[in-house]
Amino acid sequence: MYDAINDKLKEECGVFGIYSKDKTLDVASYTYYGLYALQHRGQESAGITVSNGFIMETHKNLGLLTEAFCKDDLNKLKESLRVSHEELEKQDTEVLGNISIGHVRYSTTGSTKIENCQPLVSRSKLGSIAIAHNGNLVNADIIRELLEDSGSVFHTTIDSEVIINLIARNAKKGIKTAVFNATQAIRGSFALVIMAEGKLIGIRDPHGIRPLCLGHIDGNYILASESCALDTIGAEFIRDIEPGEIVVIDENGIDSIKYSEKTQCETCSFEYIYFARPDSVMDGINVHEFRVKSGEMLYKQSPVEADIVVGVPDSGLACAIGYSNVSGIPFDPGFVKNRYVGRTFITPNQEMRERAVSVKLNPLKANVKGKRVILIDDSIVRGTTSKHLVESLRRAGAKEVHFRVASPAVKNPCYFGIDTSYRSELIGANNSQEDIREMIGADSLDYLSMENLLKALGEDKGFCLGCFNGVYPVSTPIETDKNHLER
């Protein structure tokens, strides 16, 4: 069923971890604010796990971070970690915990329920292990069946539990070996933060499809999905975790392990096009600068005479600025965005579903009336929202509406951590560009070409372009939906 509010590729997840040598540092609060900066990557659930070297405590719940946590929840996390009087005397200080990991989730596998919230925590011969995962495993079903056949019990329907079970099975070999062996079995996309044996561990898949970076603040180390999370808590960016790299952080510092020799950075192109926050830098590419450059390339590829350039908030705005800069056509806001409409917005019937886009984005009539408008968006998925945006501009008095898309046509599903539609539901997979133009009601339509997308990104590194050209860095399963792990 069409949801006008969410006619976009859906976000994946965000992960965050912090290791502090100073056990009086409030790592739970640092994690909370780090996750707040990553909220755009997932709004279905949020969770934090904290360890003081003796025990682990977790709080997680459904909803936005501010819904899943209140001040008392963070205080309870810290209170639960206060060690016994005898241990306090040994430490000669108050121990608040020195390692914390956190997760914000949009479900790409498994349904939205409390059992599937992360971080996941498991007990093994290593003690407790906690894990937070961004990405998707393409061989999770096979591994899960093998593990179940050998006696493993699963409590969730998400592929992340496959990873924690693999690690637990090799626990007696030590956490480094257990993690290394687990990475040899899993295939797909993954950016992981793991907490075990008093260590914080970060892992990135051999193709670097999902982002993960390393930072520090006052001698304390941080792992995060995006650099914007480091900025939020006042930390400094050190570097991106390399594809096929494991980093182990403990009291001795950082140990880097390469677990895969066949690595090539092929970051998901949609991270730059839509998902990432514009103030993030990912694998050396500034997200905002890329989006402005893609708008510039759009004009060079597909100029049109018009009176105003309008961007669809939020990720289309920088593209519109780039288009305006090189064309000389003024950029002006064309829509007012209601920022209080979230994923839980209820559209009770078909008529209201069709009008729902106006609840989130309403045209600014004073800016578009009587004008020829160039409307720029980052992508078109099903096309229904695009149609409503064009219609709303015409109702607001626009003389012409020329639609420009700052990415190639989306023709294939993603199997690596983005919840895309079936191929049959993707407007770009089943219609010609002219047909799409007629369907959305625009006077003209053009997509950024693959060549110009790569020029805007910079062609000195690789990218996953599977949703555009069907060529994936990892062999993909038969087309399925996000609930393929449901039992």
Provide the pLDDT for residue 180: 95
Q: Measuring CA to CA, which residue among 301, 395, 405 is closest to residue 357?
A: 395
Among the listed residues 13, 117, 414, 467, the single catalytic one is: 13
User: Omega before 119 cis (within 30°)?
Assistant: yes
What residues have CB less than 8 Å from 128, skipping those under 6 apart?
A: 51, 55, 56, 121, 122, 196
Distance CA(474)–CA(464), nearest Å, equals 10
Catalytic-residue membership of 13 = yes
Provide the pLDDT for residue 269: 94
Provide the pLDDT for residue 357: 66
Give strand pairing partners of 137.
188
Provide the pLDDT for residue 126: 66
State the pTM of this model.
0.88
Provide the pLDDT for residue 5: 44
Give strand pairing partners of 310.
375
Provide the pLDDT for residue 249: 97
Provide the pLDDT for residue 343: 46
Point out the residues of the chain with pLDDT beneath 70: 1-11, 82-96, 107-112, 125-126, 341-358, 417-421, 459, 477-487
DSSP string, 144-191: HHHHHHTT----SSSTHHHHHHHHHHTGGG-HHHHHHHHHHH--EEEE
